[in-house]
């Protein structure tokens, strides 16, 4: 009993002490179990009551929950119906909106298609215009190239000026009022002459020296421009002297000759920059004319030719006027005779009306059986004799009127 089983700290524990401790612990366990059992028996009634209350509360809550659930189901149904209505309205609105959008989209697409077609048509027309303009530009380029080639050749350039001058003259003057390559008494042949009424032709020269003008335009430095200007003066004055010496024949041609410049720009350049050349040409009785000035001169000469033809026809016009005056006098005489006959006819008609009034009065007296003696002298034995005489007189007047009208 006194044997040491183990040591707790510094205190040895013997077998007896261990047994006593174990017995004490067993007693304590039994006491604890008894206490627990007693507590369990005492708390069973309270738990049952509490459980009953809890069951009642749970049943109440369950009924409330069922009621709440039914209310919630009603609300859910109402919300479902409302949601279905809203959904139907929304679907209808969406359908209407979609139809409207589809209609507007279709209309807009149709308009866009029409506008696109119109734009494409306008674009096609403009492209056609551009193509025609391109063709015209190409043709114009070819013409300019041809004109440049023509102007580069002296003979071709002279033919170009000659052709332009001839077209202006032919358009402005009648046939017989001009002649090309006309031979003058000295044997010279100007490019064109205008046959004026005084039998002295006006000479026109179309061989203007354009080489100096081309050189002046192509000059770059001042020295080249000065040399080209001097060459232009020399060439123009030499040509002026040639025209004056060949085509101005006293008593045979007009006192003035025309030098045709086939370009308005060349004429303007010479007129503005070479006034001394223009003045010297005037003093030499040679006038430089551009195409427009030549047209004006041709119009003046056309009027001169017309006046000359009027003067040539003046005698014939005077004779015709005299014949017209004679015809007018005869017409006046015949109208006077006709007026006289008409006056006689008026008198005859007036007398016929008087006789008709008398006949009417006699007829009225016959109707009234008024056989009283008349105040006027007794009528002839044949009462229709005055009427016959007046009818014969009227017929003779009418015959005379017919004769006058036939004459």
Residue 383: the pLDDT is 47
| Mean pLDDT score across all residues of the chain | 77
**Tens-place pLDDT, residues 96-132:** 888 888 888 888 888 888 888 888 888 888 888 998 8
> Do the bridges between strand 257-260 and strand 286-289 make them parallel or antiparallel, or are there none, so unpaired?
parallel
Distance CA 304, CA 338 (A): 48
Q: Which residue has the higher pLDDT, 155 or 125?
A: 125
Dmax over CA atoms of the chain, in Å, equals 227
Residue 388: the pLDDT is 54
Q: Which residue has the higher pLDDT, 71 or 407?
A: 71
DSSP letter at 252 equals T
User: What phi and psi values does residue 11 have, to the nearest 5 degrees?
Assistant: -100, 120
SS3 8: strand
CATH number of the structural domain 153-312 = 3.40.1350
257 — pLDDT class (breaks 50, 70, 90): very high
- The number of helices, as runs of H, and strands, as runs of E, in the chain is 9, 7
Distance CA 281, CA 240 (A): 6
**Full-model pTM:** 0.44
Q: Report the b/e string of 345-363 with b at 16+ CB within 10 A.
A: eeebeeeeeeeeeeeeeee
**Tens-place pLDDT, residues 344-383:** 888 888 889 888 888 888 888 887 765 454 555 555 444 4
Sign, Cα dihedral of 275, 281, 284, 286: negative
Q: Contact 198/214 with Cβ under 8 angstroms?
A: no
Residue 46: the pLDDT is 62
For 87-94, what is the mean pLDDT? 84
**Chain center to CA of 372:** 97
Q: Which pair of tokens denotes residue 226?
A: 């000065």
- In 3D space, the residue among 288, 283, 222, 230 whose CA is nearest the CA of residue 259 turns out to be 288
**Tens-place pLDDT, residues 31-78:** 766 665 656 555 555 666 777 777 777 778 777 777 777 777 777 777
Intra-chain end-to-end CA distance of the chain, in Å: 207
**Tens-place pLDDT, residues 15-34:** 566 666 666 676 676 776 66
The sheet carrying 178-180 orders its strands as 178-180, 192-194, 202-205, 257-260, 286-289
Burial of 85 (C-beta count, 10 Å sphere; 0-12/13-18/19+): exposed
Residue 203: the pLDDT is 92
- Which residues are registered as beta bridge partners of 205? 259
**Chain center to CA of 127:** 18
**Tens-place pLDDT, residues 315-354:** 788 888 888 888 888 888 888 888 888 888 888 888 898 8
């Amino acid at each position: 009993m006194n044997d040491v089983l183990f040591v707790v700290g510094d205190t040895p524990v013997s077998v007896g002490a261990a047994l006593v401790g174990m017995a004490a612990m067993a007693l304590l366990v039994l006491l604890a179990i008894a206490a627990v059992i007693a507590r369990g028996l005492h708390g069973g009634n309270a738990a049952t009551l509490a459980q009953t209350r809890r069951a009642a509360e749970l049943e109440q809550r369950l009924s409330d929950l069922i009621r709440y659930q039914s209310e919630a189901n009603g609300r859910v149904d109402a919300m479902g119906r409302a949601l279905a209505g809203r959904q139907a309205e929304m679907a209808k609105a969406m359908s209407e909106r979609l139809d409207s959008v589809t209609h507007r989209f279709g209309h807009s697409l149709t308009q866009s298609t029409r506008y696109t077609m119109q734009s494409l048509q306008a674009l096609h027309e403009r492209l056609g215009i551009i193509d025609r303009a391109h063709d015209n530009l190409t043709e114009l380029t070819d013409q300019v190239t041809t004109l440049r080639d023509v102007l580069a050749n002296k003979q071709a350039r002279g033919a170009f000026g000659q052709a332009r001058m001839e077209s202006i003259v032919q358009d402005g003057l009648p046939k017989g009022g001009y002649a090309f390559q006309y031979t003058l008494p000295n044997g010279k042949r100007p490019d064109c002459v205008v046959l004026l009424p005084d039998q002295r032709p006006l000479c026109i020269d179309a061989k203007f020296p354009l080489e100096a003008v081309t050189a002046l335009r192509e000059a770059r430095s001042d020295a080249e421009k000065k040399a080209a200007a001097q060459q232009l003066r020399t060439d123009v004055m030499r040509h002026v002297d040639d025209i004056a010496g060949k085509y101005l024949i006293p008593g045979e041609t007009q006192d003035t000759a025309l030098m045709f410049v086939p370009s308005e720009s060349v004429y303007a350049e010479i007129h503005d920059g070479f006034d001394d050349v223009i003045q010297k040409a005037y003093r030499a009785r040679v006038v430089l004319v551009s195409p427009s000035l030549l047209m004006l001169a041709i119009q003046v000469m056309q009027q001169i030719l017309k006046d000359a033809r009027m003067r040539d026809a003046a005698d014939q016009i005077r004779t015709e006027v005299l014949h017209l005056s004679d015809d007018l006098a005869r017409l006046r005489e015949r109208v006077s005779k006709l007026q006289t006959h008409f006056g006689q006819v008026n008198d005859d008609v007036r007398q016929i009306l008087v006789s008709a009034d008398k006949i009417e009065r006699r007829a009225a007296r016959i109707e009234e059986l008024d056989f009283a003696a008349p105040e006027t002298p007794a009528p002839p034995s044949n009462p229709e004799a005055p009427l016959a005489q007046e009818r014969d007189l009227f017929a003779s007047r009418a015959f005379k009127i017919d004769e006058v009208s036939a004459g």
